[in-house]
Amino acid sequence: MFDHPKQNDSPPPCTLPRQGGGEKALHYQSAILRIVLPRVLTVGLLLLILGVFESDALGLAFSRKKSPRMPVEGDPVELSPSPFAPAKDDDVPTTSELEKLIPEDSASAPELPGQEVIAPPTARSGQKMSYKPYNTFSRELDLWNLEGRRFIRSPMVLSPDMHFFAYTEVIFSPSNRQTMSRLYRVPVQSLPPIEAQKVEGRAEKPWFVARMDPDKTLQRRESLLQVGYNKSIPFDFKTLTIVDWSASGQRLLVKQKSGILHEGLRTSDVLVYDQNKGSVTIFPEVRRAISFYWRTDGNMPNINRLNWELYPLGWEAGSDSRILFKAWALDSKDRKFLGVWRYDIDQLGTDRLSLEDMAVQVAANGWLAVPPLPAPPPPPPTKKELKKQQPKKLSKTRVYQLEKAQKRRLKKEEEMHAKQGHFEVPEGEQQRIDIDAPE
């Protein structure tokens, strides 16, 4: 029935050996199967369960990091930007997709404009404030400890003609942990005559400092834009940052950042205040033009699923309509540069200047007002001067000499008066000794 095993070969597990002790070997084999097999199955089942839970946890964590889909706006409207809609796509592309098939025709891009040299504003009568250019580097709001301070104000930026200054305020609401922001513009009052600045005890009244102080010009300020106030959204984060004034001072370029508190930036937008129109305009077609280029020529069909940032750099030198900006695509680990672009808000046209991240020179039209420093305190007196101011201390020997000299003087006076006639020296006069008399 059973095949005989060959020499030097072990018998199959279910074959009974012909030699003695076969029943004992079969008992050992069955015991091993009863002990080892359940443990192996138990360990395998545990590993399978752990693998399922780990994959579910990773999928849940990845789904929480999905980026919201960017809104598709229409033509430019003179409204504040609306909150973005949540994403509904399944997968979010990583930065590996951003590296695929980037066009190499950037060499034919137009040349970048040069830096415009602008002279500082002329000092007026009685004016002692100094000024420095504002848009000399990338300006960002200092939001350190915003939750503790709950209110932060940006530096004021003067227009090129020094007729207005603008600033932003950021407010944190602890009830719903929402961050809101406002943009203000304040007219600068002209300086009064020198005679009107004369006050008691001062050479000049520091009125030129108060006219540019936001705390002392609250009645004259004008609210241009507010974001985050229309709707209560817990953990919503919206801030406004002044980029620069245009060359004529009629337009103000502002950057808006939107995101979620403690998670990061979601999107950014370009806004322009036009003094002639009296309104703030958002330009969504800037994002649409960049997205169209990278979907068609950059082989990135899923770019709208990414978070990406528009970073306005400023105005082109001598222009009131052309804005220079950079763009980045963001994911959970890294960011990818999307090029240097130029947008004309009058012609509504977008030009790609470069696909490489490079330094771009822009005009610095706005000014930062630096108040005059207070007069420095007088230097502390030297040791020699302090020694002169202190009263001179006499030694015991010098006191004894003065007392002795005083007694001799009194004795001579007594002898002189005795020769002229009887004269008694008052008793108190004999005891009086001027130890502080000069030598």
| 79 occurs within a structural domain | yes
Return the pLDDT at 437: 46
Range of the domain at 388: 383-431
Is residue 319 included in any domain, yes or no? yes
Q: What is the mean pLDDT of the chain?
A: 75
Q: How many domains does the chain have?
A: 2
* CB 185, CB 224: distance < 8 Å: yes
Query: Is residue 2 in a domain?
Result: no
What does pTM read for this prediction? 0.59
Is there a domain that residue 16 lies in? no
pLDDT of residue 426: 54
CA distance 151 to 172: 6
For 63, the 3-state DSSP assignment is: helix
Q: Is residue 111 part of a domain?
A: yes
More confident residue, 398 or 143: 143
pLDDT at 128: 59
Same domain, 290 and 324: yes
- Please tell me whether residues 228 and 360 are part of one structural domain: yes
More confident residue, 424 or 177: 177
Residues 358 and 412 in one domain: no
Picking from 100, 128, 101, 133, the residue whose alpha carbon sits closest to that of residue 115 is 133
Hey, CA dihedral for 386, 388, 392, 397, is it positive or negative?
positive
Highest mean pLDDT pick, 80-84, 252-256, 308-312: 252-256
Mean pLDDT, residues 68-72 taken together: 43
Q: Are residues 262 and 393 in the same domain?
A: no
Percent of the chain with pLDDT over 90: 34
Do 350 and 269 share a structural domain?
yes
Q: Which region among 10-24, 254-268, 387-401 has the lowest average model confidence (pLDDT)?
A: 10-24
Helix (H) or strand (E) holding 178: strand 178-187
Q: Which of 343, 370, 397 is the last residue of a domain?
A: 370
- Measured CA to CA, the distance from residue 438 to residue 392 in angstroms comes to 11
395 and 272 in a common domain: no
Same-domain pairing of 188 and 281: yes
Which of 320, 342, 370 lies at the terminal end of a domain, its last residue?
Answer: 370
∠ Cα 17 18 20 (to 5°): 90
Residue 41 has a pLDDT of 84
Is residue 193 domain-shared with residue 290, that is, in the same domain? yes
Q: Looking at the domain assignment, is residue 302 inside a domain?
A: yes
User: Is residue 234 scored above 50 in pLDDT?
Assistant: yes
Rg (CA), the chain: 43
Provide, rounded to the nearest whole percent, the portion of the chain with pLDDT above 70.
65
Q: Please say whether the beta carbons of 228 and 178 come within 8 A.
A: yes
83 pLDDT higher than 50: no
Point out the domain boundary residue: 324, 348, 370.
Answer: 370
Lowest mean pLDDT among 64-73, 190-199, 342-351: 64-73
Query: Which range has the worst mean pLDDT, 40-54, 90-104, 257-271, 417-431?
Result: 90-104
Specify whether 392 is located in the same domain as 248: no
pLDDT band at 223 (very low <50, low <70, confident <90, very high): very high
Same structural domain, 365 and 388: no
For residue 281, pLDDT beyond 70? yes
Q: Is the pLDDT of residue 352 over 90?
A: yes
42 falls within a domain = no
323 plus 411 within the same structural domain: no
User: Is 263 in the same domain as 199?
Assistant: yes
